[in-house]
Amino acid sequence: MTVSPRLLFATAGLLFALAVLWPGRGGGAIAEARGLVGQDRVIMFSTRQCGYCERLRGDLQRAGIAWVERDVEASIANQRAWRALGGRGVPLTLVDDTVVNGYNPARIVELSRRSP
């Protein structure tokens, strides 16, 4: 049986997309992350040199949102929690049981203003 290059390429692309985009952060992953970094309602995973993290800090402060920050380069526990949540970049923000990837202050503010 021979497989056409087109089918092989399409299959590889689909598998790659699933690996990258699959949430991979069920309730167990969130519980694992919270066990490593705490139960604060809003947790932002960041690095010191991240420009989007800096912008998000200012946005959250202006919106009056209380949050804690976990530098993924400063601690193995922070890095493990970030990975458990499907981390592929920073900022990554955990609001209650919802993960927000990237710079999305409007979504973070919306989630954090909902009743827990």
Question: Could you read off the pLDDT of 58-116 as tens digits, one per residue?
Answer: 999 999 999 999 999 999 999 999 999 999 999 999 999 999 999 999 999 999 999 87
When pLDDT is cut at 50, 70 and 90, the band that residue 2 belongs to is confident
Predicted confidence (pLDDT) at residue 4 exceeds the cutoff of 90: no
Q: How far is it, in rounded angstroms, from Cα 60 to Cα 63?
A: 5
The mean per-residue pLDDT over the stretch 34-54 comes to: 97
Q: How far is it, in rounded angstroms, from Cα 100 to Cα 22?
A: 14
Asked if CATH classification 3.40.30.10 holds for the domain at 24-113, the reply, yes or no, is yes
